[in-house]
Amino acid sequence: MKKLAANIIVLLSLAGLVIAINQTFLLSGAFKFVIPSETYLYCLVLIFFPLTFILLPRTGRDRETIGWFDWLLFLAAAGCGAYLIYFSEEIVLSSWQFIAPLHGQIVALLLWALVLEGARRTNGWPLTIVVFLVSLYPLVADHMPGPLNGSPMAFLDLFAFHMFSFESVFGVPMKAFADLVIGFIVFGLALQHTGAGKFFNDLAFALMGRVRGGAAHVAVVSSALQASISGSVISNVVTSGSVTIPAMKRSGFAPSYAGGVEAVASTGGVLTPPVMGTTAFIMATFLNRPYTEIAVAAAIPALLFYLGLLMQVDAYAARRELKGLPANQLPTLRAAFAEGWHYCLVFAALITMLAQGMNESRAAFYATGLLIVVNQYKKENRLGLAGFKELLVGVGRGLTEIIAVILAIGMIAGALAATGILSTLSTDLVYLAGDAPIMLLLMGALTSFVLGMGMTVSACYIFLAIVLVPALVKVGFNALAVHMFVMYWGMLSFVTPPVAIATFAAATIARVSPFSIGWHSMRLASVMYFIPFFFVLNPALIMQGEWSEIIPTIGTAIVGIAGISWALQGYVLGIGATSDNTAGWVVRALLLIGGLIMAAPGSEDIGLNHWQLAGVGGTLMLVAILAMKMVPGRAMRKSPAPLG
């Protein structure tokens, strides 16, 4: 049975890849045949969605066993997909979203139930419950109070609208998945299966291994590189962390701190171009902007985040007088590039194609093809038949898990659109915020954080992009900044207790409590908590505006982040470590407050422009540093602090 399932996964993944490539490059046009866009979406559902039920069998003691019920759901999902394809022309031309025949309504009801089960298997109960309740909301919309009151729909008509309209299951998120996401997911998986992970690790060890606390610096750089491509926090913690966490522990880092470094670095990778956990492509579709614009905007916040993390790691190592790794245990930069030069070639080709304005999906497929061809010249990484099968299984698993989430989350938008409140909800939220748009922003941060506890970053982002983002844009915030804001705050739950799933993954490797890792993770990820507020209040941090504003804003942010990092870890570069007495804590408080003020954007609401605010922050930081230099016995420690 497992062999049959494996063969089905390989064949369907291959079929899906062929159809996606055909649609991207319009290959069938040579035969005067083009698959309509809506039929293409149905084909993806037919191919990938049924795999949910055999890739993720029913929960229980033995989740690896595919039971008869899983096969039944697989066949039902495949049947629904085939039905959509068979009637695709009638669905569009006869407006089935409003007047579907009875058999169409019944199939729609069945597919609705399957989508909910797919969401449960891929993302658990929290997302499933939210989608279940919201998707049925139109049935009682006319009984809801105030802003939630809307036009009701009949029972079977509702499911037809969800499945046959292009505002629900097959709305913007699904179109973004079909047109943009597939190519980059395939590219990321191809990198993993051709040994890019080893190259990233070797490159990071060669670059950062010898500096003080080198193992932690390696973890940051390696995890940033890997997670930015894979788009998966947990898989990156497991793969990269299995090397970096033991290395950090051997270097003298506390196990809980080592786990925190890996968890935070892997989480930040999902916010780092190019892949960004597929969210960048969905964001580009929502905003109707090129993907390259999203990637450029995300680059500076990501760099600031990793700068803050590296500074904290360096300060921790300096305070505890930790050394770098011995040179004889490290690969050389020459050796790393000799082994992985072809990855650099592929990245250069991908960036060049994107910079020249090529369709993002085409660029990703071209880069994947180049990677596989060049990789075959490397004997140690060469893919044989078994390797290609593993790659196809990886493609099938990756795309299946994403499509299951996207189909489910699309029903939230569909329910709001069906009742007519989607267009008025943002107005109502703005009214509730009154003259305090910052309160709406705080509400957005809290909502993003809570939803991030139970959803993937893509699902959380899509939900908030539909419900909350329009209201934030309406009160005057920059649209791109707001979209990135909810994505950042949705990711924070990965490293913030009580959920902090990245810390649980790191805890199994570090062999310590995930909650002890979570405390360090919150400190290490501190930049991620406040930088979203800063780029919403001043979009210059996401490259929006004139260079005369962008450059000084980034410069003061770097100085401010340095102050925050030194305060949190109790060490100032070039000065030394703070003491553990009252004077030392005063110095750290001044550094922290000064750093926050220095990094914060100026505002008319507080009566200070950017330079005036930077002057206040810089003065506080300078006072703290002078205190350390002038009163070293009180502000600086004399002996190493304990590990922890």
Read off the pLDDT of residues 171-226 as tens digits, 9 standing for 90 and up.
Answer: 888 988 898 889 888 988 898 888 888 888 888 889 888 899 888 999 898 888 87
Which pLDDT score, from 0 to 100, does residue 643 have?
Answer: 44
What's the domain count of the chain? 1
Of 30, 499, 507, 489, the C-alpha closest to 279 is 489
Most confidently modeled range among 45-54, 355-364, 581-590: 45-54
Choose between 279 and 60: higher pLDDT.
279
For the cut 90, the answer to whether the pLDDT of residue 450 exceeds it is no
Burial grade of 431 (CB within 10 A; 0-12, 13-18, 19 or more): exposed
Choose between 267 and 437: higher pLDDT.
267
Please state, in angstroms and rounded to a whole number, the distance separating the CA atoms of residues 600 and 598: 6
Which pLDDT score, from 0 to 100, does residue 225 have?
Answer: 81
* Residue 625 domain flag: yes
Please state, in angstroms and rounded to a whole number, the distance separating the CA atoms of residues 73 and 75: 5
Both tokens assigned to 608: 């200070």
* Residue 597 domain flag: yes
Phi/psi at 420 (5° precision): 85, 5
The pLDDT > 70 percentage for the chain reads 92
Which pLDDT score, from 0 to 100, does residue 455 have?
Answer: 65
Choose between 78 and 191: higher pLDDT.
78
Which pLDDT score, from 0 to 100, does residue 631 have?
Answer: 66
The 10 Å CB-count burial string (b at 16+, else e) for 306-345 is bbbbbbbbbbbbbbbebebbeeeebbeeeebbebbebbee
User: Where does 434-537 have alpha helices with state H?
Assistant: 437-452, 457-467, 469-474, 479-491, 501-510, 514-524, 526-537
Which pLDDT score, from 0 to 100, does residue 58 have?
Answer: 75
* Residue 281 domain flag: no
Mean pLDDT of the chain: 87
Pairing relationship of beta strands 571-572 and 576-577 according to DSSP bridges: antiparallel
Q: What is the reported pTM?
A: 0.82
pLDDT tens track for 148-179: 788 899 999 999 999 999 989 998 889 888 98
Residue 637 binned pLDDT confidence (cut-offs 50, 70, 90): low
pLDDT tens track for 118-136: 999 988 888 899 899 999 9
Ramachandran sector of residue 550 (left: φ over 0; alpha: ψ -120 to 50; beta: rest)? alpha
Both tokens assigned to 481: 């900044």
Residue 1 binned pLDDT confidence (cut-offs 50, 70, 90): low
Which pLDDT score, from 0 to 100, does residue 145 have?
Answer: 83
Domain containing 597 equals: 557-639
pLDDT tens track for 546-593: 898 999 999 999 999 999 999 999 999 888 888 878 888 899 999 999
Choose between 434 and 291: higher pLDDT.
291
For the cut 90, the answer to whether the pLDDT of residue 504 exceeds it is no
CA angle 341/342/344 to nearest 5° reads 70
Average pLDDT estimate for 385-414: 90
pLDDT tens track for 379-396: 777 888 888 999 999 999
For the cut 60, the answer to whether the pLDDT of residue 454 exceeds it is no
pLDDT tens track for 598-614: 998 876 656 678 888 89
Please state, in angstroms and rounded to a whole number, the distance separating the CA atoms of residues 637 and 629: 12
Residue 61 binned pLDDT confidence (cut-offs 50, 70, 90): very low
* Residue 292 domain flag: no
Average pLDDT estimate for 513-535: 90
* Residue 631 domain flag: yes
* Residue 18 domain flag: no
Which pLDDT score, from 0 to 100, does residue 641 have?
Answer: 47
* Residue 563 domain flag: yes
Of 565, 589, 586, 570, the C-alpha closest to 264 is 565
What is the CA 11 to chain-centroid distance, rounded?
29
* Residue 573 domain flag: yes
Average pLDDT estimate for 354-377: 89
Average pLDDT estimate for 252-265: 93
Of 487, 395, 422, the C-alpha closest to 185 is 395
Task: Please provide the DSSP assignment of 128-195 as one string.
Answer: HHHHHHHHTGGGSGGGS-GGG------HHHHHHHHHHSTTTTTSHHHHHIIIIIHHHHHHHHHHHHTT
